[in-house]
Structure 1
Amino acid sequence: MNGPVLFTERLVLRLPETSDLDGWAEMSADEETMRFIGGTKPRSQAWRDLCAMRGAWDIKGFAMFSVIERATGRWIGRIGPWQPEGWPGTEVGWGLARDSAGRGYAHEAAVACMDYAVDILGWRHIIHTIDPANARSIALARRLGSTNGGRVSLPAPYEHETVDAWGQTAEQWRNRTRD
């Protein structure tokens, strides 16, 4: 399946591929990285998650992109539009490998994905489901211009997770002050 490819100054965002498995599995096994995004998972589950993300592109026409560092060609995470069955809204979510965190990559990719969700997918409202203890994701949501809309419930198997829906309308996104 061919799909969209987004380019930013330092990143390429493309559909997940089989070659992403090593990076995806490494990230999925990292306790610190996965603390707020479903917990650690073995390589076999990482494979199923990668396939589910790729399959969502075919079934729904969107899903998170694999994030590739342009300078190295290395897979560094997954960021993008996401709305599995029972999700509380149209989300742009993110997850980066620990060694890529703190470099501005999440913001750079999230801006491209917010533009994609609004301009291409036509989304009228975008959320980011964030654990209230996840200070880094809250800071990114704020930097994107999102505000806390309050507690929401996630579908199984995440129904026991505590998350708030940070978000904004497409109009707010289009009218934001760009940094």
Structure 2
Amino acid sequence: MPIGPVLETPRLILRPPQAEDFDGFCALAADPEAARFIGGVQPRESVWRALCTITGAWTIRGFSMFSVIEKETGQWIGRLGPWQPEGWPGTEVGWGLVKSAWGRGYAVEGASAAMDYAVDVLGWQDIIHCIEAENAPSIRVAERLGSRKLRTVPAPPPFKDVVWDIYGQSAEDWRARRGG
């Protein structure tokens, strides 16, 4: 039984994570550059717990990040979508993609679909993106989505010594931007 919806964009399928996504999650977490701003390199055991957390949030919260599947190849290329663990600074749409998917517009394409879902289905009034100041590529993605820097906050536990710039926009601004 599916635990959440499947969203499609011209080039991507966004669906709740499945067991067969584990190796993709591990590859993302094993790459120092790709994992730098999403918790750093993690061993398989920690990735398993993270995958179960993301998947379990679908049951607990009714939403969570999607696995991102490239339509052309059927390959798992990352995870993105709505995210709000306990203590989070707001209703976030976040992203993390494997390096082979960088520079192709997938983060903006997938995050746009996830933002539509967050506003239209989940009823979110605001969407944020938690981004470290050194993460220039994610800042560019946020700006391409129409988000702007709102504030700076310390990340909640267990992210010791991490500070995020919070980018974001209102649902009203997002609807106006997409023309609906």
State the TM-score, normalized to the length of structure 2.
0.96
Offset from partner CA, 1:11-34 (integer Å, 9 cap, x none) = 000000000011100110110011
Cα distance in structure 2, aligned partners of 1:177 and 1:124: 15
Identity %: 58
Measured in 2, the distance between the counterparts of 1:100 and 1:131 equals 20
Q: Which residue of 2 aligns with 1:42?
A: 43
- C-alpha distance in 2, partners of 1:32/1:156? 22
Residue aligning to 2:99: 98
Q: Output the amino acid matched with 1:130.
A: I
Distance 1:162 1:40 in 2: 18
Amino acid at match of 2:162: E
5 Å-filtered alignment, 1:13-162, equals 13-162=14-163
* Whole-angstrom CA distance in 1 between matches of 2:170 and 2:76: 30
| In structure 2, C-alpha distance between the alignment counterparts of 1:171 and 1:119, rounded to whole Å | 11
Where has structure 1 moved over 3 Å in runs of 4 or more?
A: none
Q: Per the alignment, in what secondary structure is the counterpart of residue 67 of structure 1?
A: strand
**Structure 1 gaps, min length 5:** none
Q: Distance in 2 between matches of 1:47 and 1:68?
A: 19
Deviation, 1:173, is: 0.2
Match for 2:154: what amino acid? S
> Which AA in structure 2 matches 1:32?
E
Contact 1:86–1:154 under 8 Å retained in 2: no
Separation of aligned partners in 2, 1:54 and 1:177? 29
Tell me, in whole angstroms, the C-alpha distance in 1 between the residues paired with 2:16 and 2:122.
Answer: 16
RMSD: 1.0
Q: 1:157, 1:177 → 2: CA distance? A: 35
- Kindly indicate whether the alpha-carbon contact (under 8 Å) linking 1:65 and 1:78 is maintained by their aligned counterparts in 2: yes
Q: Deviations over 1:110-134 (max 9, x none)?
A: 0000000000000000000000110
Q: Quick one: structure 1 residues 157 and 48, their matched pair in 2 at CA, closer, same or farther if it must change by over 3 Å?
A: same
Mark the runs of 5 or more structure 2 residues left unpaired by the alignment. none
Partner of 2:8: 7
- TM-score, with length taken from structure 1: 0.97
